Chains A and B, each alone.
Chain A
Amino acid sequence: MAQANKAENEQVSTSEIFDGERILDDASLSQLDSEKFSRYAMIGDALRAKSDNAITIDITASVAAALADEPCHNVKGIEEVAHQPAQSNVVSISSWKKPFSQIAIAASVALVAVLGVNTMQQTPVVGDDLPVLQSIPVAGGVAPVSFSSEGSALQSAQQGVRELQQQRIGALVLEHQRQSRMAHALHQAKTEKVEENKESN
């Protein structure tokens, strides 16, 4: 009860100070709620359409408060982010991913696929059928692997392999594209040869 009274009292005095109805001294200052004061000032400015300075609404405090209440999903992952400055793109991606890893139940192949997309899009040597590789349900019995918990060493090793595999897939697609440019000429040469053989026989 006493607290409510005090708050109400402060509000009244803040308003009085703002309106200049109360002399500014130590006694009144102790009752001033500076937050409210600035809000009053802002309201006043807005009403008077003093838009020289864009209205700045400080939401940092409330965001911080909301974040404090938010449950932490994977503290370990977050710590790792803090401790390891991103050395390369890949590392940063993987650390970024870790907080989500408990939620993400991804088949390892699907992940390769998704990451594969990135590599291929980044590769500037993109030709006509070297495009966005899109993940599809794997044809064939591949056990889904969850990247949830243990073994970050294992994970980083896997990351290395994955990176190699992406590189390889990119190389294979490009090579197929280049080689198949010769296919038609080869096919023609071959059918001609077969026909020649037939004729000579």
Chain B
Amino acid sequence: MKPFIFLISLCFSIVVQASELLSAKQLLQNMATAVHQRNFDASFVVMKEKGMEPYRWLHAQHQNQELELLSLLNGAGLEIVRVDDKVTYFEPQSTPYSIKTDTIAGPIPEVLFKDIAVLEQDYDFVLGGKGRIAGRPAQLVRLESKDSGKYNYWLWIDTESSLLLKAAYVNQVGELLEQLQLTHISVTPEPAQQLVELLNREFPEPTLVSENVISPQSQSNWQIDWLPQGFTLLKADRHKLDLNNELADYYLFSDGLVEFSVFVQRPLAGKRPSGALSSGATTVYVHNSGAFDVSVVGKIPPQTAKSIAESVKRAL
């Protein structure tokens, strides 16, 4: 009898373990589905060490169309509107423009609303503890980077509605660098009127994300010798920056969760030391290599940004 009980309990523990392993990923997938299917009106804040940005986030499923509105409530503001697969960005001081894509690029990484499986190669999905966030029971899911030169991303998911309650970029020693916290959410059966009215509005035609965004010429200008694990080149070209009209050779890399940009520019006059600035999880590393300046911007640790910037060489 005893061995039999032992066997049963062994089986049971294996099953439990397996189900736990499944559920970290399953929870993330449930969240992605919930975010697309539910009608909700949420408010959240993004907290960095020294700043706080409040947002309002509305989503609705209406007549087989998805409607979404994300607005930054402080300062001059930023409004992002999505009608199905057309996302329009309204910013102060520039004309609104649309992109043909089905997720809003806001403070929440877009991949979390899509197929999370693409991250499995570079991140481990770990189930954490349970807690209470924004007055709701929450389950922690950690995306732990397999490369120690990247940040981890932690999410707290509503165990009832599967919606995101809190998220944070966390460094390798477990400090929360940038947090996103829901302050209020209401899930309604009917879509919000504000969103339904979006259908009567005209939006600019989307600019196509052309397939050939990696121009061979600019790719051959510079050689980036070192990249953290999992990052691939998405875009490479030469263009003028909007704000100061400076010409830059531009490279965009992504690992599916975070992106970083590499800019190679003509050096500014005068002797300037290289150095890093950071705000929340975003790092700006400016490297002065004499004949040219390399800047790296993205949600990566300063040390990683430094290594990337210093590995840029003139192609032979």
Task: Using CB atoms and an 8 Å cutoff, list the residues of chain A in contact with chain B.
Answer: 108-109, 112-113, 116, 123-129, 131-136, 138-140, 142-143, 145, 157-158, 160-161, 164-165, 167-176, 178-191, 193
6 closest A-B pairs by CB: A109-B275, A171-B243, A185-B101, A161-B270, A176-B297, A181-B105
The answer to whether A173 touches B297, judged by C-beta atoms less than 8 angstroms apart, is yes
Check B193 for interface membership: any CB of A closer than 8 A.
no
Residue numbers in A under 8 Å from B241 (CB-CB): 168, 171-172, 174-175
The answer to whether B297 touches A131, judged by C-beta atoms less than 8 angstroms apart, is no
The answer to whether B284 touches A124, judged by C-beta atoms less than 8 angstroms apart, is no
Contact A185 B282, CB 8 Å, known A128-B46, A190-B232: no
Q: In the complex, how many angstroms separate the beta carbon of A108 from the nearest chain B beta carbon? A: 6
The answer to whether A131 touches B275, judged by C-beta atoms less than 8 angstroms apart, is no
Q: In the complex, how many angstroms separate the beta carbon of B177 from the nearest chain A beta carbon? A: 11
Residue numbers in A under 8 Å from B276 (CB-CB): 136, 138-140
- Can you give 25 contacting A-B residue pairs, CB < 8 Å? A125-B92, A127-B72, A129-B107, A134-B48, A140-B276, A161-B272, A168-B244, A168-B295, A169-B284, A172-B241, A172-B261, A173-B297, A179-B250, A179-B261, A182-B235, A183-B110, A183-B234, A183-B235, A184-B101, A184-B105, A184-B110, A185-B101, A186-B254, A187-B234, A191-B118
> 1/0 per position for B258-282, CB-CB distance to A under 8 A?
0111010100111011111111101
The answer to whether B48 touches A174, judged by C-beta atoms less than 8 angstroms apart, is no
Q: In the complex, how many angstroms separate the beta carbon of A57 from the nearest chain B beta carbon? A: 39
Check B111 for interface membership: any CB of A closer than 8 A.
yes
Check B223 for interface membership: any CB of A closer than 8 A.
no
Q: In the complex, how many angstroms separate the beta carbon of A45 from the nearest chain B beta carbon? A: 49
Q: How far is the CA of A18 from the CA of B103 in the complex (A)?
A: 83
Would you call the interface of chain A mostly helix, strand, loop, or mixed? helix
Among B276-309, those with CB < 8 Å from A are 276-280, 282, 284-286, 295, 297-299, 302-303, 305-306
Contact A187 B256, CB 8 Å, known A128-B78, A139-B302: yes
Residue numbers in A under 8 Å from B91 (CB-CB): 125, 127
Q: In the complex, how many angstroms separate the beta carbon of B42 from the nearest chain A beta carbon? A: 15
Interface residue tally on B, bucketed by range: 35 or more
A181 partner, pick from B89, B232, B244, B272, beta carbons under 8 A: B89
Contact A171 B244, CB 8 Å, known A132-B279, A183-B105: yes
The answer to whether B100 touches A164, judged by C-beta atoms less than 8 angstroms apart, is no
A170 partner, pick from B243, B252, B305, beta carbons under 8 A: B243
Residue numbers in B under 8 Å from A193 (CB-CB): 211
Residue numbers in B under 8 Å from A124 (CB-CB): 75-76, 92-93
> 1/0 per position for B59-98, CB-CB distance to A under 8 A?
0000000000000100110100000000101011110000
- With both beta carbons as reference points, the residue of chain B lying nearest to A171 in the complex is identified as B243
- With both beta carbons as reference points, the residue of chain B lying nearest to A136 in the complex is identified as B278
A180 partner, pick from B51, B261, B275, B286, beta carbons under 8 A: B261
Q: In the complex, how many angstroms separate the beta carbon of B234 from the nearest chain A beta carbon? A: 4
Residue numbers in B under 8 Å from A126 (CB-CB): 75-76, 78
The answer to whether B268 touches A128, judged by C-beta atoms less than 8 angstroms apart, is no
Residue numbers in B under 8 Å from A125 (CB-CB): 76, 91-94, 243
Check B49 for interface membership: any CB of A closer than 8 A.
yes
Check B128 for interface membership: any CB of A closer than 8 A.
no
Q: How far is the CA of A162 from the CA of B6 in the complex (A)?
A: 71
Residue numbers in B under 8 Å from A158 (CB-CB): 270
Q: How far is the CA of A172 from the CA of B213 in the complex (A)?
A: 19
The answer to whether B274 touches A140, judged by C-beta atoms less than 8 angstroms apart, is yes
Contact A112 B282, CB 8 Å, known A134-B49, A179-B235: no
Check B99 for interface membership: any CB of A closer than 8 A.
yes
Contact A176 B280, CB 8 Å, known A128-B53, A129-B107, A140-B274: no
Q: In the complex, how many angstroms separate the beta carbon of A118 from the nearest chain B beta carbon? A: 13
Q: In the complex, how many angstroms separate the beta carbon of B68 from the nearest chain A beta carbon? A: 14
Residue numbers in A under 8 Å from B244 (CB-CB): 167-168, 170-171
Residue numbers in A under 8 Å from B46 (CB-CB): 128
Residue numbers in B under 8 Å from A136 (CB-CB): 276-278, 302
Residue numbers in A under 8 Å from B272 (CB-CB): 108, 112, 161, 165
Check B202 for interface membership: any CB of A closer than 8 A.
no
